[in-house]
Amino acid sequence: MDSVNALFSRGLVSEDQRVMLAGFCKRWNCSGFEALIETNMISERAFADLASDILRLPRVPDVRGSTLSPDTLALLPFPFARSRGCLVLGMSGPADSRTFRVAIANPWDSETRMMVEDMLHGEVEWFIGERSHIIEAIDRLFPLSSIVPHFWEVLAVKNHD
């Protein structure tokens, strides 16, 4: 509910809406971010713009047209990236002190941010993007073998017979 509370503290969500969103989160076992988006209380674009303004993090207007190398895509596993709404956009610096540029849909999701930082073993520069754009980019960019690994295992076995 961190995202809801941040909007509440700025007068963008009323107390009644906050209570309703808390009930939604409990009923559907989801985050405040998901509740805000799924109930259409705020659009993804407006949420990303507000989060960027509130947290003073750069905003990625659209990641759907991104072209990323296989090495960059491999930094976060497909199931994690898709379920958490985050995508590594690039990296810079020498291998022992890399800085990673990561787009995230819900910047208040501290668990996801910590997990990404642990997986990448380097400094992370966070960017805020719209969830649907990030998910669409992930679905388009990740190789099918990482999306459906079992499918490739079955094909490999059939091709050897």
Over residues 39-89, the pLDDT tens digits come to 999 999 999 999 999 999 999 988 887 778 888 888 998 889 999 999 999
Which residue would you say has higher pLDDT here, 33 or 144?
33
Domain span at residue 17 reads: 2-42
20 within some domain: yes
pTM for the model: 0.82
d(CA 1, CA 95): 36
Residue 116: predicted pLDDT: 96
Q: What's the pLDDT tens digit per position in 83-94?
A: 999 999 988 888
Q: Judge whether residue 19 has pLDDT over 90.
A: yes
51 within some domain: no
d(CA 110, CA 6): 14
Report residue 125 as tokens. Answer: 């520069």
Is there a single domain that holds both residue 37 and residue 77? no
Mean pLDDT of 1-14: 85
Q: Which CATH number does the domain housing residue 129 bear?
A: 3.30.300.160
86 within some domain: yes
Residue 150: predicted pLDDT: 45
Count of domains in the chain?
Answer: 2
